[in-house]
Every structure is written in structure tokens, then in C-alpha cells.
Chain A
Amino acid sequence: MKNRRLPLIAAAFLGVLAGGANALDVRAGVLRIDYSALLPISRYDLRPDDLAFAGAQLAEEDNATTGTFLGHSYETVTAAATPEGALDALDAMLGDGIRHIVVDARAPELQTLTDRAAQDGALVFNTRAPDAPLRSDACRANLLHIAPSYNMQADAVAQFAIWKQWKRWLLVSGSNPADRALADAYRHAARKFGATIVEEREFEDTGGARRTDSGHVLVQRQLPTFMQGAKDHDVVIAADATDYFAAYLPYHLWTPRPVMGSAGLRPVTIHGAHEAWGATQFQTRFEKLTRRHVMEEDYNTWLALRVLGEAVTRTSSADPRTVQDYILSDAFELAAFKGQKVTFRPWNGQLRQPILLHDGRITVSVSPQDGFLHQVSPLDTLGMDAPESNCTAFE
């Protein structure tokens, strides 16, 4: 995605650069780890080849356009690797002199890559891993989280449920470690916002057929009986981080109730129909570039690189230390089509952002909900707050 046109455009604007502006060449890497996985329940969730990279390309274009007025040029190198090949791919980027690296990986690989990057003074942006420990005991001084945590996702759903007065929850979770971690986030959210989990059930992942011709017949018979006999509840909260059963829950419950969480009303950073706050412009630019709808991985990567671009624009520096100090400072703010500026929690490197609640077609609501207040920012009602985090890397 090197853009050979850019130096020419930059030259055209050299005459109008702000006094004292220095030419800068900003190089970033996007490293996506591809895990072997079963097909998703829905074809809508198939992962396109350019997933995340497409967001990087749009961000590079956005940053480069701004850069032309400042003498800053941007280049983004992308790589996809297996978990086993992740370190080699990172080493290649570091060896190439790249010190800003966006990583789309799960927590174990992210941690390994972050520590390796730290050895070379490189800054890492986490666009995928939602795990709580990464924002607490296992935080790292060179790791910024663009991706919302499980806690932010759960709190976004919980606030909406409370706003609706749906306070009695039936929590249905999966049996994989990630599903259980997500379920923990919902338990925490229930305590935090005053909901009651009247009952919990775990839907065991025993493998089995998906998307087969008759799969829906079995689902239609099995799920209602699994959901039978639950205590009175207002809403079903699904915690299925590994995407193996939650999508089947709506319409296959025993008691008709709304489903939220991993199915029904889902907490997302973006979806292809999000239009508010100028997002239509983001969507049309993305679609023009890629001929497909945006996915969360694309937006998260775009946002990571825009955070970098904004910091470079304001500091006129591409030095990872300078950039990170600015990003974590009070001065940093960025518009991200969410209706308010996104900023960072300086104590654990987490990006604060509103979470969209998406029903598969439209934005149903956006959290934080009205009335949930916090002494720093309403956005800090979503996810782990400073006193709850054991992160000391940023002190």
C-alpha cells in the first residue's frame, strides 16, 4: 500500500507549510494474526482477505492527505501471519525500522509481540484482544488498547438494560475460556449497575455441525429445551465470545425475551449501517476503497492509525515516546464518528469510546446511556475504572 503519488502532492504544498514544520516520514506496521477457526455461524461474518488492512489503507490515505499540508508522509506496511509466525513477522517490521505497530491478535500472541516490540522501543496498538488482564496486572508501558475490553462491552449492554428497567438477567455463556471471561464481565456489570442475574446456564461447546442443510432443525428442537424452566427474567444475556451458539438464541428461547450481548443487541465499535455523527462519510470512503461494508477489525485499525496520525500532526514528531506521551496527555482528542472526542485512560492505555448497540441492521442505541455519570468522563462508566486496575506500567 505504498502510495507513490504522495511525494508529488507533498511537493506541491511545500510552499505553504507552517513555519518551522519539518518533513517527516511516518512508517507504521499492521500485523494481523490469522488463527485456524471453524467457519462463522453466519456468512455475514466471513473474514475478507483484506480485513483490518482495508482500514489501514483508509487511515493511511486520511493521514497522508493531512500530512501533505505539514510535510508529513505516511507509509503503512501490512502482514498477516500464523500464531507461530507472528514473531518473525514482527521482527521483519522492526528490522525495517518500523516503530508503530498495530496488532490484531489474541492476548497470548499480543503479549509476546508487545514485549518483543518493547525491546526496540516500539509502540503497539491492540485492535483485537478484549481481555481484562491486559488492562490490569498484565498491562505494558508500550501497549495502547484501541479495542474495547470485555468490560466495556458488557457495561455498554448493562447500561442499556438498566435504562430499559430490564434488571433480571438470565446469563447464558459458552464453555470456552474466552466465553467464561466474557461472562465474568457481565457478572461484574450486573453488580456495578444493579442488575440481578437470576440464573446462569452454560451451553457446552461439544463441537457439532454448523451451517449444514438441516442444522436449524436441530437447533429449533434443542435450544428451547435447554432454555426451559428458567427463573423469571427480563432479558437473556449471551456470553459467547467464540461464536458457536449465541446467534441461535433469539427466537429459540423457551420464554420469549430479548437477547443481548453476543447475539440480538450486540456491543460493537462500528457496523456498516452506522450513519450518525458524520459516519456516512466514513462509510462511503471505505466502501469506495474496498467495495464492501466495514467490519470492526477495519474500524479498529483505522482508528489506531488515526490516533497515531493525530499525534504526529500535533507534535510534528514520529518518535514513539513523544507520540505516546501526547496520546496519553490531556491535550489528545480525536473525532472518530462517535459524537464525542475519543481519548485515552492514562493509567492503563485504554481508548475511551462510545459503544454502539447494534441489532444487525441499525444502531439501536449508543452507550454510555444518559444519566450514567463519572467524575472524569461519562465514557469512564464503561469498563474498568482506575481504582479497579492494577496496572502500574504507566506510573
Chain B
Amino acid sequence: MNLFLTAALCIAATGACAGKTFVSNERGNTISVIDTDSWEVIEEFDGGNRPRGITLSPDGALLYVCASDDDTVRVFDTASYEELYTLPSGPDPELFVIDPSGSPLYIANEDDNLVTVTDTQSHSILAEVPVGVEPEGMAISPDTKWVVNTSETTNMAHFISTDDYQIKHNVLVDQRPRYAEYTSDGRRLFVSAEIGGTVSVIDIAQDGTPTLTQKIGFDVPGVLPEWLQPVGVKVTQDGSRIFVALGPANRVAVIDGESLKVIDYIMVGQRVWQMAFTPGEQFLLTTNGNSNDITVIDVAREKAIKSIPVGQQPWGVAIMPN
């Protein structure tokens, strides 16, 4: 009932509170904008060369895009879609995470084995942290004391203290770690390993010390194990469900947060990589790089309900806060 009311109010307010989703199209060099009420693509604008990582400022006013081949982060107005300015990112920015306060941005520089820390206010680089080969996954602990980077060829999760930007812990995981995601209480971290085919479960002690406790594997009848390639990971706020995008297996695994067992696989588009929740976690959106679309998953029902064609090779997805 409440949901209906909210929806009605939004329409009455001439779309002012209509949710917007931004999708980076890696090969198309564009950003697709999707209205999350109508699920229509309402705009597609130039995102720079090879846009991959994509995120929003906490107030939803600014859209940050890793324009990988431009060696910069492009910043867009989420209302007008105009490019406002660029931020120094270091070379080949791939994926980043933003401090909940809106600054800094922690950026993985895939070609240079660095994590660049960029102040979004002063537009300056605060630090460059040397990490393993081909850094990609980025996560920030809920208490903002730690930034985690995963390096795809070194196969580690690096734990960087946000106090001094020094690495304090390294945890070896399986081959080609792509993504890291904390639980909302910060006591657990999930790291996907694309080629290893696993998600590592890393428990975090009170002082931040990580311990690798187990690895979650996947098994889908009729799908070769080689194609079960975990990439994006999203955990619900209450920690009850973990969703894992399985790349060329064209499925999202649903894991029970308590038992850490896979309980279902949801069919989505082809080569599913990154994901994002809509506000309130009603829907989970996935980017499907080979079918050039977005799948909308109804989180409560754990079912795919819709697919939305976007630009060429969708990579990342960011959804406006309400």
C-alpha cells in the first residue's frame, strides 16, 4: 500500500522524484539513463572513451564516470546530463568507490597498479597507493576506515587504511578478483574471483583485521563450470541475501546470508557483470554486456521481471538515491 502511494505521489510531482538509473556503455562510449518508474530509456549521452566505473555523489546531484581511455573521471550533472568538469584519476581508471561524505573518490588504475585517492572538492589527488597488478574491485568499509582494492593478476584483496593510505593487510584470494562488497555492519567482506569461480568470504575483526573463512562455489546443471564466473556482488542491507553476477553463465546467484549457501540462480541477460539496488532494495539491476541490456530483478520475489535495451556493452550501473 505504501509503495503504491509513493509511486502515485511521484507521478503527481511531475517526475521530480522519479528514480533514475545511469548505465555506462563501455563500447558505445555513452551513458544510458533509465527511468526506474517506467523502465524506459529516457536519454543516452556521451560518456567519454570507454566508460566503465560509474557512481553518484551522495546527494545524487553529480554522476562520476571512469572514462578509462581518457585517463580521467568525468563528472556530469544528473539533471541536465551536462559534463561539468573532470577529475584527475591517474591512468586508466576502471572502478572506484566514493566516501559516503562525497569525498574522496578511491579509484583503481588498472594499467598502473595504483589506487588514486582524489578529493572531489579541490579536484586534486590526495594520494597514490601502490597495489597489485591490475587493480579493479573497490569497496569502502561502512565506518570508512578501510578501503579495499582487489588486484586481478596479483589475486589479492588489499586493505588500505584511510588514515594514512597505507596497506595494512593483504589477503590472497582465487584467480582474477573482480569485486569487493562489505556487509552493512562491516563485519564481513565478499570478494568475487572471476576465473577462480568463487566468492571469498572474509570476516573482519573489530580492529579491521581480515580473516579468510571460506569460499563459496557455484554449480548450475547444464552450464560448464568454466562459465560460472563471479563478478559483481551485492548484499542486502539486512545481510540476508547476497547476489552474485556470474558473467557468461548469464545468471545471478542468490546466496543465503546466514548459511552462505547458494539457494537459487536467476536467469538474466548475457555476460552479466555489475549490479545495483534501487532505493529500498525493491529491484536489483544487472548490466549484461553481450546482450546490450539491463535485467530488472524483483528482489523480494527473486525473479527477473524485465529487460531494458541500452547502449553497446553495458558495464556499470548507478542508481539515484531517493
- Is B167 positioned at the interface, with any CB of A under 8 Å from its CB? yes
| Least CB separation from A64: chain B residue | B133
Answer whether A69 and B167 are a contact pair too, CB < 8 Å, given A278-B134, A335-B153. Answer: yes
**A340 in contact (CB, < 8 A):** yes
Q: Tell whether, in the assembled complex, residue B224 and residue A284 are in contact, meaning their CB atoms are under 8 Å apart.
A: no
* Cβ distance B154 to chain A, nearest Cβ, rounded Å: 4
Q: Are A69 and B156 in contact (CB under 8 A)?
A: yes
A117-149 CB mask vs B (1 if < 8 Å, else 0) is: 000000000000000000000000000000000
Q: B171-201 vs A: 1/0 string, CB under 8 Å?
A: 0101110000000000000000011110000
Contact A288-B111, Cβ < 8 Å, known A16-B168, A333-B175, A335-B153: yes
- Which B residues lie within 8 Å of A65 (CB)? 113, 130, 132-133, 154
Q: A340-B226, A378-B224 are in contact. Are A69 and B132 (CB under 8 A)?
A: yes
Against A, the Cβ 8 Å flags (1 = close, 0 = not) of B67-107 are 00000000000000000000000001000000000000000
B293 at the interface (CB under 8 A from A): no
Q: Do B153 and A66 have beta carbons less than 8 Å apart?
A: yes
Tell me, in angstroms, the Cα distance from A378 to B225 when the chains sit together.
Answer: 10
Return chain A residues, CB-CB under 8 Å to B113: 65
Judge if A209 is at the interface, Cβ distance under 8 Å.
no
| Bitwise interface map of A from 243 to 285 toward B, beta carbon under 8 Å scored 1, else 0 | 0000000000000000000000000000000000010010011
Residue A292 CB within 8 A of the other chain = no
Q: How would residues 302 to 319 of chain A score, 1 for a CB under 8 Å from any chain B CB and 0 otherwise?
A: 000010001001100000
Residue of A nearest to B227 (CB): A340
Q: B209-230: which have CB < 8 Å to A?
A: 224, 226-227
Does A9 interact with chain B (Cβ within 8 Å)? yes
With both beta carbons as reference points, the residue of chain A lying nearest to B247 in the complex is identified as A339
Q: Report which of A69, A313, A334, A377 forms a contact with B158, defined as CB distance below 8 A.
A: A69
Given contacts A278-B152, A335-B195, contact A284 B92 (CB under 8 A): yes
CB of B169 within 8 A of chain A?
Answer: yes
Interface string of B245-269 (1 = CB under 8 A from A): 0001000000000000000000000
Q: Is the CB of A18 within 8 A of B152?
A: no
A291 to chain B, nearest CB (A): 15
Q: Which residue of the partner chain A has the closest CB to B174?
A: A333
Q: Is the interface of A mostly helix, strand, loop or mixed?
A: helix
- Whether the pair A16, B170 counts as a contact (CB closer than 8 A) is yes
Which B residues touch A394, using CB under 8 A?
Answer: none
Chain A 350-389 interface residues, beta-carbon cutoff 8 Å to B: 377-378
A115 at the interface (CB under 8 A from B): no
A-B interface pairs (CB < 8 A), number:
75
- Distance (whole angstroms) from the CB of B218 to the closest CB of chain A: 14
**B: interface residue count bin:** 20 to 34
| Inter-chain contacts of A70 with B (CB < 8 A) | 170
Interface residues as binary, B131-144 with A (CB distance below 8 Å gives 1, 0 otherwise) = 01110000000000
* Structural contact, B196 and A341, CB atoms closer than 8 A: yes
Partner of B167, one of A13, A340, A341: A13
Q: From residue 7 to 58 of chain A, which have CB atoms closer than 8 A to chain B?
A: 9, 13, 16, 18
Residue of B nearest to A66 (CB): B154
CB-based contact A341/B195 at 8 Å: yes
A62 to B111, CA, bound (A): 11
Chain B residues positioned under 8 Å from A310 (CB to CB): 155
- CB contacts under 8 Å to A, within B106-138, are 110-111, 113, 130, 132-134
Q: State in angstroms the CA–CA spacing of A318 and B148 once bound together.
A: 29
A66: chain B residues within 8 A (beta carbon): 132-133, 151, 153-156
Q: Which A residue sits closest to B113, measured CB to CB?
A: A65
Interface hub of A13, A62, A278 (most chain B Cβ within 10 A): A278
When distances are taken between beta carbons in the complex, the residues of chain B under 8 Å from A340 are 195, 226-227
Q: Assess whether B153 is in contact with A62, with CB atoms less than 8 Å apart.
A: yes
Additional A-B contacts beyond A66-B154, A378-B224, A378-B226 (18; CB < 8 A): A16-B166, A16-B170, A18-B172, A62-B153, A65-B130, A66-B132, A66-B151, A69-B154, A69-B156, A69-B167, A278-B176, A284-B111, A333-B174, A335-B194, A335-B195, A335-B196, A341-B196, A377-B226
A and B contact pairs by CB, cutoff 8 A, 5 listed: A16-B166, A18-B170, A335-B194, A340-B195, A341-B196
Task: Pick the 10 closest A-B CB pairs, nearest first.
Answer: A335-B195, A66-B154, A340-B226, A335-B175, A335-B176, A69-B170, A62-B133, A341-B195, A65-B133, A16-B167
